């Protein structure tokens, strides 16, 4: 309440939902920092709250971030290049935005006396094999390192799987293909992904910001699904008699399955909330803060999408919850 909050990348699907929910907490001001003028105008018209301040800027430019961070209490760092194929084709751009841009956010926050920074990461940062995943993994390392070095600003990470309907999600693609009468394109019959509704993801993100003491990685508890099952559910509910599934092969940089917690990280995970896991930071002595009584039994061998697959009925329920099925 009565806080000034900066949201980088605030005009994306995550940012719009986050801002809507943050407005309910009675903030003093929310600054939306992004490069896209058109999306800022669209968001301003859609929400139209006087507490919103829109700032055109690029996280690659530290001076622009310094101005945006003035008198800010909390930063949600969402801005990133996130499409796997684009990052594979243009790795230098991914490096500049996702790594160097994140370091600029860190520096600007520390120099401006920001109280807390929450970095939104991805399951692709766990055991990364793509340019996108590697740059987001480096972003996590920078954030956690900053928390050790910083005296006045605390830093933490929020590592999530796929959010239903977000930019780049397969859901809008399937919806468009069904509307146009095309087959639904799936990369591989065995591919699995974690999914959560956008509203729930953003709720947990805010809880993580409030509860963080610095150095943690928060991981929402998410069900996973086989993408072929997801396509079948959407075809069934659409009533289409002509749509089929067409397999097109895994794209460069993609995995067959995703991991939210690696086996190595699982030794440091606590499970004290029904909504999320927490990977705890190391103590100054180098020992982890997690004892055997706190460690999560659910994530003992890691948290992998092929272990947590939902049934088609459960997928349908999740899609209903997210507003993607009538």
What are the sequence ranges of the domains in the chain?
1-161+195-222+260-304
Q: Is the pLDDT of residue 166 over 60?
A: yes
Per-residue pLDDT, 287: 45
- Closest by CA to 7, choosing from 25, 20, 19, is 19
Q: Which two tokens stand for residue 116?
A: 């807390």
Buried b (16+ CB within 10 A) or exposed e, 39-67: bbeebeeeeeeebbebbebbbeebebbee
Phi and psi at 14, nearest 5°, equal -60, -45
Per-residue pLDDT, 283: 66
Task: Give me the helices (H) in 182-252, please.
Answer: 198-211, 227-238
In contact, 297 and 288? CB cutoff 8 Å: no
Q: Is the pLDDT of residue 294 over 70?
A: no
Cα–Cα distance measured from residue 275 to residue 200, given in angstroms and rounded to the nearest whole number: 9
* Active site (annotated) includes residue 124: yes
Q: Which residue carries 């697959």 as its tokens?
A: 309
DSSP H or E segment with residue 301: none
Q: Is the pLDDT of residue 295 over 80?
A: no
The DSSP symbol for 183 reads P
| Distances in whole angstroms, Cα of residue 287 to Cα of each of 56, 143, 261 | 43, 20, 19
Cα–Cα distance measured from residue 223 to residue 181, given in angstroms and rounded to the nearest whole number: 29
Q: Which residue carries 């008699």 as its tokens?
A: 241
Give the range with max mean pLDDT: 93-102, 291-300, 314-323.
93-102
What's the mean per-residue pLDDT of the chain? 92
Per-residue pLDDT, 182: 92
Per-residue pLDDT, 299: 57
Q: Is the pLDDT of residue 282 over 80?
A: no
CB-based contacts of 320-323 (< 8 A; 24+ apart in sequence): 321/197, 322/164, 322/165, 322/171, 322/197, 322/198, 322/199, 323/165
Does the 1-161+195-222+260-304 domain belong in CATH 3.40.50.620?
Answer: no
Q: Is the pLDDT of residue 293 over 50?
A: no
Confidence of residue 192 (pLDDT cuts 50, 70, 90): very high
Q: What is the mean pLDDT of residues 108-120?
A: 98
Q: Which two tokens stand for residue 170?
A: 């397969």
Q: Which two tokens stand for residue 29?
A: 């001001």
Per-residue pLDDT, 250: 92
Q: Is the pLDDT of residue 270 over 70?
A: yes
Q: Is the pLDDT of residue 144 over 50?
A: yes
Q: What is the mean pLDDT of residues 77-88?
A: 95
Question: Of 124, 136, 221, 255, which one is the catalytic site residue?
Answer: 124
Q: What is the mean pLDDT of residues 64-88?
A: 97
Per-residue pLDDT, 288: 47
Q: Is the pLDDT of residue 167 over 80?
A: no
Q: List the beta strands (DSSP E) in 130-233.
A: 154-160, 162-163, 184-186, 192-196, 217-220, 223-226
Q: Is the pLDDT of residue 258 over 50?
A: yes
Per-residue pLDDT, 285: 41
What percent of the chain shows pLDDT beyond 90?
83
Per-residue pLDDT, 165: 74
pTM: 0.93
Per-residue pLDDT, 239: 87
């Amino acid at each position: 309440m009565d806080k000034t909050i900066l949201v980088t990348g605030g005009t994306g699907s995550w940012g719009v939902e986050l801002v809507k929910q943050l407005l309910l907490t009675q903030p003093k001001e929310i600054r939306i920092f992004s490069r896209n003028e058109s999306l800022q105008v669209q968001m301003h018209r859609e929400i139209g709250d006087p507490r919103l301040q829109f700032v055109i800027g690029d996280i690659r430019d530290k001076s622009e971030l310094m101005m945006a961070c003035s008198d800010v209490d909390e930063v949600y760092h969402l801005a990133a290049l996130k499409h796997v194929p684009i990052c594979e084709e243009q790795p230098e751009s991914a490096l500049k935005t996702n790594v160097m841009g994140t370091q600029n956010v860190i520096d600007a926050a520390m120099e401006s006396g920001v109280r807390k920074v929450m970095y939104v990461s991805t399951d692709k940062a766990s055991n990364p094999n793509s340019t996108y995943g590697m740059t987001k993994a480096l972003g996590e390392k920078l954030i956690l390192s900053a928390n050790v070095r910083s005296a006045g600003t605390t830093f933490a990470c929020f590592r999530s799987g796929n959010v239903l309907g977000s930019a780049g999600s397969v859901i809008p693609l399937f919806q468009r293909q069904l509307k146009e009468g095309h087959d639904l394109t799936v990369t591989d019959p065995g591919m699995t992904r974690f999914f959560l509704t956008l509203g729930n993801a953003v709720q947990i993100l805010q809880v993580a910001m409030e509860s963080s003491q610095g150095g943690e990685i928060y991981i929402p508890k998410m069900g996973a699904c086989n993408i072929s099952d997801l396509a079948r559910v959407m075809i069934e509910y659409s009533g289409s008699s002509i749509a089929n599934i067409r397999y097109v092969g895994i794209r460069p940089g993609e995995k067959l399955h995703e991991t939210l917690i690696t086996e190595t990280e699982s030794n440091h995970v606590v499970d004290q909330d029904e909504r999320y896991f927490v990977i705890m930071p190391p103590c100054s002595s180098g020992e982890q803060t997690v004892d055997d009584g706190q460690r999560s039994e659910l994530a003992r061998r890691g948290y992998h999408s092929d272990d947590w697959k939902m049934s088609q009925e459960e997928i349908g329920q999740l899609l209903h919850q997210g507003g993607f099925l009538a």
